[in-house]
Amino acid sequence: MSPSPAEPRTIAGRYRLENALGQGGMGRVWFARDEILGRDVAIKEIVPPPGLTDAERREMRERSLREARAIARLNHPNVVRVFDVVRTTPETDPWIVMEYVASRSLQDALAADGPLPAQQAAHVGLEVLHALQAAHRAGVMHRDVKPGNVLLGEDGRVVLTDFGLATVPGDPNVTRTGLVLGSPAYISPERAKEGTSGPEADLWSLGATIFAAVEGQSPYARATAIATLTALASEPPPPPKNATGPLKTVLTGLLRKDPAKRMTAEQAEKLLARAAAQPTRTVAPAVAAKPEPTRLDLSRLNPEPSTSETPPAPPPPPTTPRFTARQRWYAVAASVLIVVAVAVTVPLLSDRDNDAGASGKPSATPTRVATSAPSASPSSSRSPSPAASPSAVSPSAVPTDGGTLPAGWHVFTSEDYSIPVPDGWSKSTEGGMILFREQDGLGRVLGVMSSEVTTGDPKAALAEQEGEQSGKSGYDKLKLDTVDYRGLPAADWEWLYTTGNGTHMHVLRRGIIANNRFYTFSWYVPADEWAANQDGLAVVAGGFQPRG
């Protein structure tokens, strides 16, 4: 495409237009030459679609200026740079002069070559995450992260571009009430439902973009915008088929529908770095879809349950499906308006927006516990587990009546406490801790302990235990902090470690002071299955009852 005769070939006396690189709903991007500095640049021209009112044209103009201001706040190698904003006359629309990156978009790469290898997808995701972290530190929300806005440079650089929908502190939001701008296949549930645009919304879009990179399409790709938004409201994200280990954990964590339970940027960065460093592996066929789990925060508990350094070997892989939490989103018919990429009037959703697996209620098949032994002592292998994201299930879960436990659970009662336990798990005692072990499947473990109070601070009690673990194999502390648990003094300790047989484990331990006793319960799960086992942890936390 070349400029039409009516269009100036030189802008502001210095930028010579060469050829159009692309065109979208808001304008056209040109490859141009800066005649003064002698460098190639990209210039974004605002081209309002026909039929807009003067007010709508002003809105487009403001949006383009907001994009320039947003990018100008950033100075990061993974963000395209803005050099200048010029007008041919004071009344005309602005031209945004930007850095030219010899590249193709991730969307074009997927269309031409298919999904990326998992290691490369993790690398691309990590670079985009770095761009978002820089933007969020500056108070800028991108709001339109998608493969079409990720450039894969010929020199290997990954660049996030098109901040046209970004929000900048101090600038009014020019988006009209009732409209959500963005691409439905990559928009977060909270933006679709309420129009909110915090960092968590960008992280959801990043997760959907990485999912598309490794799977070939977004998790909610449908034939129409309304079908996409309906699926977003009513269906859990599909499990990735081409991602395992830390990359799979990232996708599960970033695509949690509840932004409060979504993986943080810091957690995702750590896991993506691991995934990007791992050689690409052939992935086995996908198993049944896993529901989106709720996240619990149980990093603290009592003294070490066992002195054993090496936990039992993990049992064979499970043959039964994982938890399927019931969906509670219902979409009501909504109108769709295409503006720019897509402007959508979002379907009304019910006020119960717990996504699959986030309800805290598991199905008849209980969740699974770690293959490693209940002892907090890791094995001799030093590699930390891939699931490095602290859990975030409600720390103040309401006690569960034993008569209303999910199918597949029962209540174990001792003289000191009662606690929900999955059916069929064996019971043993090690180092004063009662251990309930899954006999098949993942070999998860639930550990419970009651002891005399030695300090009134549960965090300090757990910190003492944590000190004994810091030198163990693969130990990686994720969290150690106080939590709100029914008004009782409580704290959580969450960590990773590696068993003697090389299994990476993820553990959450909660310590509670009640009735002059210190109680701890611990949930052990293989690290790459952690996200899929949060419902079981929620049942345990909600049903645990000190006695006395």
Catalytic residues: 144
Q: Please choose, from the candidates 479, 74, 463, 466, the residue with its C-alpha nearest in 3D space to the C-alpha of residue 267.
A: 479
The conformation of residue 167, written as its DSSP 8-state character, comes to B
Q: Please choose, from the candidates 22, 11, 29, the residue with its C-alpha nearest in 3D space to the C-alpha of residue 86.
A: 11
Cβ count near 499 (within 10 Å): 29
Distance of alpha carbon 221 from alpha carbon 247, whole angstroms:
20
What backbone torsions phi and psi does residue 21 show, to the nearest 5 degrees?
-90, -25
Distance of alpha carbon 183 from alpha carbon 195, whole angstroms:
13
The two tokens of residue 185 are 């296949």
Q: Please choose, from the candidates 242, 372, 249, the residue with its C-alpha nearest in 3D space to the C-alpha of residue 306.
A: 372
Cβ atoms 455, 476 nearer than 8 A: no
Cβ atoms 151, 22 nearer than 8 A: no
Dihedral sign from CA coordinates of 59, 76, 384, 522: negative
| Cα radius of gyration rounded to whole Å, the chain | 26
Cβ count near 340 (within 10 Å): 18
Q: Are strands 517-526 and 545-546 parallel, antiparallel or unpaired?
A: unpaired
What backbone torsions phi and psi does residue 516 show, to the nearest 5 degrees?
60, 30
Q: Find the angle CA(509)-CA(512)-CA(517) to the nearest 5 degrees.
A: 125
CA distances from 245 to 161, 242, 331, 416 (A): 29, 10, 33, 38
Q: What DSSP element (H or E) covers 59?
A: helix 54-72
The conformation of residue 488, written as its DSSP 8-state character, comes to B
CA distances from 543 to 40, 327, 481 (A): 64, 22, 21
The conformation of residue 422, written as its DSSP 8-state character, comes to E
